[in-house]
Structure 1
Amino acid sequence: MYNIFLTVHSYLRWVVLILALVAIVKGLIGLSSKSKFVEGDRKVGLFFMISCHTQLLIGLILYVFLSPITQSAFQDFGAAMKNSSLRFYAVEHILVNVLAVILVTIGHSKNKKGISSASKHKNAVIFYGLGLVLILSRIPWDRLF
């Protein structure tokens, strides 16, 4: 079960990253061309947010129930904080990615309000961009698949 969830979590990261890039690029293009924030822009942001939430849910299941790494860290949290690899998975990876998902969700929520198209594109660039930076900073790149 652990390997299945870990594999899904590893492959889903690529969906998240691709959707993030598409949403941010669409936002940048919309800002620079002063175009309307259209349904396609909204849907890309929505799919990005959904993929982030799905990734977070799978990650939380791994974190709390399945991962031998976090189970080991929970047994002696003080010792885990002294081990950079255990600390990464027990604290840094989860905390920073939860913050990233919150930023993406805020960006999407702000864009549901009746604000100008320019503000919506700006929200997408800022909130999705910050979320992407945080996500990229905490991906374990040594485990690509």
Structure 2
Amino acid sequence: MVPMAGGSLLALSVIVLAAVVSTLLLAPVAANDIDALSALKSGLKDPNGALKTWDPQLVDPCTWFHITCDDHKRVTCIDLGRQNLSGPLAPELGQLDRLQYLEVYGNRLSGPIPKELVGLSNLKDADFSNNDFCGPIPTSGPFRHIPRRSFANNPRLGKKC
């Protein structure tokens, strides 16, 4: 029995060590997601409290309202449509390398669409419509596949900011 118990203890130790190491390896990546979302929040006015659960002290942004994550606790979707938000989108959103969906339609967002977003190779869909964005409409990277209607009703989009 002793060898069996020792072997079981060794196996358990290996499993625990693997879990700790994988958590430590994932932590900096998830921290980048938190940093990007915190930068977005800090630049926006949020009179209705849509972002009230976005607390950078909470290590898991997957518990925040309007955020969806994958099995590795990486941000895959930001759904902030019609939340009465105003202000610019943060360039740090370009750090969300697992982001697939970015929905910010129907707010009062302004400024340029950050050029850093063209590096989001996993982005499948985005909706910037019904805001007050200005500057160029991104056309490279994932934006080659984003329909023009996703930029509709931004009177200053395509014009100098």
| Length-normalised TM-score, structure 2 | 0.30
| Higher CA-based Rg | 2
Query: Taking CA–CA contacts closer than 8 Å with sequence separation of 6 or more, which of the two structures ends up with the larger relative contact order?
Result: 1
- The structure carrying a bigger helix percent of its residues is 1
- The structure carrying a bigger strand percent of its residues is 2
